[in-house]
Amino acid sequence: MSANIGKITGVNGNLLKVEFENPVIQNEVAYACVGTGDLKLKAEVIRIRGNSAELQVFEDTVGLKVGDPVEFTGELLSVELGPGLLSQVFDGLQNPLPRLAEECGFFLQRGKYLDPLPRDTKWAYTPKLNVGDTVVAGDTIGSIPEGLFDHCVMVPFNVRGKWTVESLKPAGEYTVEEVVAVLKDDKGNSRDCKIMQIWPVKMPIKCYAERLRPTESMASGMRTIDTFFPVAKGGTFCVPGPFGAGKTVLQQIMSRHAEVDIVIIAACGERAGEVVETLREFPELTDPRTGKSLMERTLIICNTSSMPVAAREASVYTGVTLAEYYRQMGLDVLLLADSTSRWAQALREMSGRLEEIPGEEAFPAYLESVIASFYERGGVVKLNNGETGSVTIGGTVSPAGGNFEEPVTQATLKVVGAFHGLSRARSDARRYPAIDPLDSWSKYPSVVDVDKVAKARKVLRDGSEVGQMMKVVGEEGTSIDDFVLYLKSEYIDATYLQQNAFNETDAANSVERQEYVFNRLLKLTETKMSFKEKGDARSFFQQLTQTCRDWNNSEFQSDEFKKIEEQMTKALAEVSDYAE
């Protein structure tokens, strides 16, 4: 069969117009040949009109001109799935960046594409089936020990119906391209099963028995999130906020302490400096769950703002496809996309070049559906073997000027289950994490009783109103009861909502500790207090706040923890006794 070759008829930035003779398909991969054809640039078909196709190129298009050939591959934009993914750093097209750097040096070359999975590595494979067994797509054929997990070798996700195992390779060491099983259907068709399989990134993996509702809370170790604005395993959440409000730090803390098996970070257009910081720090971080390197259960998709814009979209879909792959093994996966605003900007740029009718702020009119389709790929699923797996998706949004009314933030809020809005005012006041306790919300169950959380939020809300009033009438124009209410809300903020990420104990709190401390804190806010002067009240809460911060820095139920708690109880008793 002859190759399907087209010719470039127009070049507009990274958008190519190509005429073709043989049929092409939407999202098909093609290679644009520069000059003599020694340099081939990867592209994707994004629109077809008659015998003309429009392609987005994932590289700089310098050198391409009208008349240059384009080779259509007949394959969709896909990723390789198999052992060897964990602890790796890929770009948006799943090129392994460390190996790419070894071959290219300091500057990455255009048109250089490497196999994501090493072809020469041999893996210790153990079959889990017998000849004659009946299987369907997604069933486990065998397993390979890979770091902390048993990597499942599965029946290809694109097979349909029931198949019978005709032959199996015995336990041994094999490369990812070797056939380890042969299947046959009732019509006599055969299908080879390799350790590695290939899957299109824009097609969800749906080889499961049932999709379940997310109900189990995903403990992150962060009090503000777990108690007030929780995230469920298999749920979705977004973290919008202005530049410098702490989005990246928040994601890094969550990736380290969240109760999940695997963390995938998709840096889809984030600034290069922040990504470099992540790449340098993660291998040095100790995983609190295993005591080993955090990178052993982390996978990074790196497409920074200095890399090709068109590849931002690919990086988002690459990340979520890899997350679905590990979910199919019965694992809990956390996917963090940073920042989806820059992905949306890439969509806007391409939409403008396609001369589509623009929506609000020149974003494409289909922006909402694209964002929704991405977040909908998360969720909890029940597999064919009865086990469950989950993909939790969290995306940061970088609205210009911190304006949450802009299209990307609003489109995201319509589909996510939790909203962690970062505040510029809290960030400037160094109140980290800078999640606004009044604007944020969650639809998922908290680790603390819902009624108790509602009481604490009411104290925060009422205290904020008193604080706003004090800015107008001053402290002397405020009643002492209102002033005490304001101090109580500030106490909750300073001792529970704020956490010290640099303190080993306070950086992450267990669910048990959060419940205990929150109940203690709520009891204090419900205690009626009376002071002769406002200065007495201020002094009392300042001392109590400092004592409670020392409490947060002590090990749960240690002697120091109990000693500080006794001090707090005694101080509170003195105040309440005085009130009587």
CATH number of residue 23's parent domain: 2.40.30.20
Strands of the sheet containing 140-146, edge to edge, are 149-154, 140-146, 123-127, 172-174
Measure the CA–CA gap between 20 and 47, rounded to whole angstroms.
Answer: 13
373 backbone dihedrals φ, ψ, rounded to 5°: -65, -30
Q: Is 551 inside a domain boundary?
A: yes
Measure the CA–CA gap between 18 and 337, rounded to whole angstroms.
Answer: 32
247 is in an annotated binding site: yes
Q: Could you tell me which residues come within 8 angstroms of residue 438 by beta carbon, excluding any fewer than 6 positions away?
A: 460, 461, 464
Strand partners, 416: none
Whether 269 and 340 map to the same domain: the answer is: yes
pLDDT tens digits for 484-516?
999 999 999 999 999 998 888 999 999 999 999
Measure the CA–CA gap between 551 and 559, rounded to whole angstroms.
Answer: 11
245 is in an annotated binding site: yes
107 is in an annotated binding site: no
488 is in an annotated binding site: no
> Residue 90 — pLDDT band, cuts 50, 70, 90?
very high
Q: Is 104 inside a domain boundary?
A: no
Measure the CA–CA gap between 177 and 180, rounded to whole angstroms.
Answer: 9
Domain count, the chain: 4
425 is in an annotated binding site: no
**Exposure string for 73-111, b = 16+ CB within 10 A, e = fewer:** eeebbbbbbbbbbbbbbbbbbbbbbeebeeeeeeeeebe
Whether 369 and 252 map to the same domain: the answer is: yes
Helices (H), 376-439: 407-413, 424-428
Query: Are 524 and 573 within 8 A, CB to CB?
Result: no
417 is in an annotated binding site: no
In this prediction, residue 578 carries a pLDDT of 43
224 is in an annotated binding site: no
Q: Is 201 inside a domain boundary?
A: no
What mean pLDDT value characterizes the chain?
Answer: 91
176 backbone dihedrals φ, ψ, rounded to 5°: -70, -20
Nearest to 538 by CA among 496, 489, 487, 577: 487
Q: What is the CATH number of the domain that holds 334?
A: 3.40.50.300
Average pLDDT (416-424) is 95
The kind and range of the H/E element at 210 are strand 210-212
Q: Which domain covers residue 49, as residue numbers?
A: 4-76
> Residue 44 — pLDDT band, cuts 50, 70, 90?
very high
Measure the CA–CA gap between 543 and 549, rounded to whole angstroms.
Answer: 10
CB atoms within 10 A of CB 480: 15
Strand partners, 142: 127, 153
Q: What is the CATH number of the domain that holds 463?
A: 1.10.1140.10
298 is in an annotated binding site: no
pLDDT tens digits for 229-261?
999 999 999 999 988 888 888 888 898 899 999
Q: Is the pLDDT of residue 577 over 70?
A: no
Whether 43 and 185 map to the same domain: the answer is: no
